[in-house]
Structure 1
Amino acid sequence: MAINLSKGQKVDLTKSNPGLSKVVVGLGWDTNKYDGGQDFDLDSSVFLLNSEGKTASEADFIFYNNTTGAAGAVEHTGDNKTGEGDGDDEQVNVNLSAIPASIEKATFAITIHDAEARGQNFGQVSNSYVRIVNGDTNEELIRYDLGEDFSIETAVVVGELYRHGGEWKFNAIGSGYQGGLESLVKDFGLNS
């Protein structure tokens, strides 16, 4: 049975699931009624961070135009441009045992494509979540529902997988940003 997390909660992943190495990080969302005449396109991305909390290079920024990183250990499965349907809107496959030692965290974010130009923000998004699924058994291990705490934000850091004492843990973050993907890219050490 999955562990449901609240904002700020941290939970062990590999210690309580011995032998776990392959996980699927599923991200999902729905858009509320929106009459701006523009499509809503949300995107998930992953920042692979070193001990300073920064990406070492653009190769450590995983998204729909750079789908593989960490020597193949992290793979974004593709862009969902509509968010239609039930279940995960986008997924990232992660092989925890194959992530290079130089990478200490994998931080997951959801951003709204062209949010400012389209007049869109996370106040118009509902039912957003991140979940961790065992890649071998398809069992949901962890789920974090972000709730409706956002209004003007155009990007949300939803959570992170991180190393601690030789094990992998998950931290439910739920922090909103204005400035969309560009602000996240700068915060994590890349020039846009």
Structure 2
Amino acid sequence: MGIQLSKGQRIDLTKTNPGLTKAIIGLGWDVNHFDSGANFDLDASAFLADQNGKVINDLDFVFYNNLEDPSGSVSHTGDNRTGAGDGDDEQILVEFSKVPSHIHKIGITVTIHDADLRNQNFGQVSNAFVRVVNEETNEELVRYDLGEDFSIETAIVVCELYRHNGDWKFNAIGSGFSGGLAALCRNYGLEV
């Protein structure tokens, strides 16, 4: 089992794991039992941002309708529309050596699809986590459990991977937004 982090903690990824070239960013969650009349569809996304924290090319936003950035460094394994079962519900793959030099930060987020229309929010979600796994060895390096701190939020910046002195680090963010995917896009400088 990897190192367990709390909100706000940062840890080095590539310096202390020199063989780490490809990482699986696994995200998982459970939906609390209740009847809202609609299924929950949570979606993971990655925002590839510059040194100012802004995405400068729409194609650097990786999600279920754009499964890979132009460099091939970040890819989404596909949309899981139910979140049923144990383990990772969705995964984003990162190949550190391919990340373009102008990308300084990769924001990993989760949103609830059509949350306002379905009257859903992260207060109805439990056991949410993110983990970083070395793709070659399948070893879990880092895990961050988000806890139950959310109520009305419909989007979360779960964590960020960022460059620091040539190495990649992990920052446990856990910051919630109302306004779903559109709010996250604006946060990272994309027009909706």
Q: State the TM-score, normalized to the length of structure 2.
A: 0.99
Gaps of 5+ in 2: none
| Residue type of the alignment partner of 1:89 | D
Structure 1 residue 70 displacement after superposition? 4.9
Query: In the alignment, is residue 112 of structure 1 matched against residue 112 of structure 2?
Result: yes
Q: Is the 8 A contact 1:27 1:89 kept in 2?
A: yes
Name the counterpart of 1:52. 52
Deviations 1:142-175 (A, max 9, x none): 0000000000000010001100011000000000
Q: State how far apart, in whole Å, the 2-side matches of 1:103 and 1:10 are.
A: 19
Gaps of 5+ in 1: none
Q: State how far apart, in whole Å, the 2-side matches of 1:8 and 1:37 are.
A: 35
User: What is the SS of the residue equivalent to 2:34?
Assistant: coil
Name the counterpart of 2:163. 163
| Residue type of the alignment partner of 1:83 | G
Q: 5 Å matches for 1:31-110?
A: 31-110=31-110
Q: State the TM-score, normalized to the length of structure 1.
A: 0.99
Deviations 1:70-101 (A, max 9, x none): 50010100000000001000001110111010
User: What is the SS of the residue equivalent to 2:117?
Assistant: helix
The runs of 4+ residues in structure 1 deviating greater than 4 Å are none
Q: State how far apart, in whole Å, the 2-side matches of 1:178 and 1:34 are.
A: 21
Deviations 1:104-138 (A, max 9, x none): 00000000000000000000000000000001000
Name the counterpart of 1:2. 2
Amino-acid identity (%): 62
Name the counterpart of 1:22. 22
User: What is the SS of the residue equivalent to 2:36?
Assistant: coil
Q: Is the 8 A contact 1:70 1:100 kept in 2?
A: no
| Residue type of the alignment partner of 1:178 | S
Q: State how far apart, in whole Å, the 1-side matches of 2:178 and 2:8 are.
A: 20
Structure 1 residue 184 displacement after superposition? 0.5
Deviations 1:11-58 (A, max 9, x none): 000110012110000000000012111111000000000011100111
| Residue type of the alignment partner of 1:30 | D
